[in-house]
């Protein structure tokens, strides 16, 4: 089963550059076996073209490496923090995709203008506050990155299933899902809607958000007990 977990994480990681979400070695993906309390994550600084399933590092939810010859991603504590805080998720993806990262660097939510956005999110893609100097320099920077994400969701009373992504202020997006493959899909969607929001604001700087009724219609036809998009069981 752990070999399957490593293969799942590997497939998610190599999908990121294929979707145009990655430059150089930026970003990472992780897959969690929650029953065992172990997740597989990309090794730090290894080029995507050089990755193999065997390179994936296994880490437990206490932060201990349980298998792997390479150092795990430097973002491992952030992934771990999200797995601990959001018990329904099974995969996390971090990218520096250009348009989503532009919103993050500006400290701006991605506003919800249309139905493409509403197919994935119940509202704006949230953005965290900036980390403080002590959080940056206190020796647990990546864990604190996870903390500001969890803090923001708590402040806004957001359900991570309805808002499966966040922008870390001055940094970049993190996405998640029940599986790491779903987290990759959300990462693609976040970059897509960020690009469309950016261009919509160029065309209409004072554009109003999507109408609540249209947002609810598109979100609920894909999510929740009344969902009817797609095929049963898929």
Give the global pTM.
Answer: 0.95
| Residue 200 predicted with pLDDT over 90 | yes
Residue 214: predicted pLDDT: 97
- Classify burial at 132, counting beta carbons within 10 Å of its beta carbon; exposed 0-12, middle 13-18, buried 19 or more: exposed
Catalytic residues: 119, 229
pLDDT tens across 122-159, in order? 999 999 999 999 999 999 999 999 999 999 999 999 99
Contact 181, 91 (CB under 8 A): yes
Can you read off the two tokens belonging to residue 227? 């969902």
pLDDT tens across 59-106, in order? 999 999 999 999 999 999 999 999 999 999 999 999 999 999 999 999
| Residue 231 predicted with pLDDT over 90 | no
The Cα-based distances of 145 to 127, 137, 138 in angstroms read 12, 12, 12
Domains and CATH numbers, the chain: 2-220 (3.40.225.10)
Q: In which element (H, E) is residue 160 found?
A: none
């Amino acid at each position: 089963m752990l070999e399957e977990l490593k293969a799942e994480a590997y497939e998610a990681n190599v999908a990121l550059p294929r979707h145009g979400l990655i430059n150089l070695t930026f970003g990472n993906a992780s897959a969690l076996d929650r029953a065992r309390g172990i997740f597989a994550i990309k090794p730090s600084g290894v080029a995507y073209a050089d990755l193999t399933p065997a390179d994936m590092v296994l880490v437990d939810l206490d932060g201990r490496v349980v298998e792997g010859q390479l150092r795990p991603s430097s973002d491992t504590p952030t992934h771990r923090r999200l797995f601990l805080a959001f018990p329904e998720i099974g995969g996390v993806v971090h990218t520096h995709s250009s348009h989503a990262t532009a919103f993050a660097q500006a400290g701006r939510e991605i506003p919800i203008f249309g139905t493409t956005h509403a197919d994935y999110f119940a509202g704006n893609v949230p953005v965290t506050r900036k980390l403080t100097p002590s959080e940056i320099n206190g020796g647990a920077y990546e864990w604190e990155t996870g903390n500001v994400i969890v803090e923001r969701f708590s402040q806004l009373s957001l359900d991570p299933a309805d808002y499966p992504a966040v922008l870390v202020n001055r940094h970049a997006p993190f996405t998640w899902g029940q599986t790491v493959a779903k987290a990759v899909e959300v990462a693609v969607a976040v970059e897509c809607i960020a690009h469309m929001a950016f261009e919509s604001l160029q065309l209409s700087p004072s554009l109003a958000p999507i109408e609540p009724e249209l947002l609810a219609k598109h979100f609920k036809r894909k999510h929740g007990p009344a969902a009817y998009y797609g095929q049963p069981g898929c």
